[in-house]
Homo-oligomer: A and B are copies of this chain.
């Protein structure tokens, strides 16, 4: 059995647009049903949901045979949580609330094996297909895709530094939190917020990384695409 390649990571590198959907309802039937809908990726969200670890694993299993990529958002930039999700076979992560380059570097470290990082090693896990993937430990890092979420006014000022952290594969702008941090709670479509989002996308792109966002506003999505956004989630499952 060979190491599953990460087509989403490859697409991001090639700047091929990836349209996705937010998945905050747990369950493998639900996940497989969504996986059949034609999205390029789906984000299994554990940050703003009650989806738990065994459910994430069952959802990864359900999505596996489909030409859709399942990314996972942990509850936080937490190495223990990431270790468990990695062993469950997740390959793409969206890390919430990264404010600084140091925090981004911490996330990178958590998802990479020594000497490149500090990911804990287990020989027999779903990630290594129960030990069947040859050289999993030395090859796993290459197929991990790490996306960090910039979602405050302060974090926006650090985009270039965050983008410069080796191992960060993309930066996502979270409009809801950004709106709140800018004084417009519950109003991510406020013009000031939209401007900040679009400016962020441009700066991420200029810094050499693919930019992403979640929005249900078709107009903003269009402007974001024009600004260079690559991975965009356009709907939520609830």
Contact = CB atoms under 8 A, between A and B. Distances in A.
B54 A185 contact: no
A53 B29 CA distance: 12
B123 A176 contact: yes
Interface string A170-207: 00000011011101011110000000000000000000
Interface stretch (A19-27, A161-169, A221-229): A19-27
B121 A49 contact: no
Contacts of A53: 50, 52
A26 B29 CA distance: 8
* Dominant secondary structure of chain A at its interface with chain B: loop
A192 B25 CA distance: 40
A51 B53 CA distance: 8
Contact of A114 (B88, B113, B123, B180): B180
A39 interface: no
Interface in A37-77: 46-58, 61-62, 64-65, 75-76
Nearest to A132: B36
Contacts of A24: 122, 124-125
Nearest to A125: B48
B138 A186 contact: yes
A87 to B, nearest CB: 5
Contacts of A47: 80, 83-84, 120, 122
A84 B130 contact: no
B61 A177 contact: no
Contacts of A176: 121-123
Contacts of A177: 120-121
Interface string A80-92: 1101100110000
Interface string A116-131: 0000111111100110
A135 to B, nearest CB: 6
Interface in A105-159: 113-115, 120-126, 129-130, 132, 135-138
Nearest to A178: B121
6 contacts: A26-B27, A28-B58, A48-B120, A50-B57, A121-B179, A123-B186
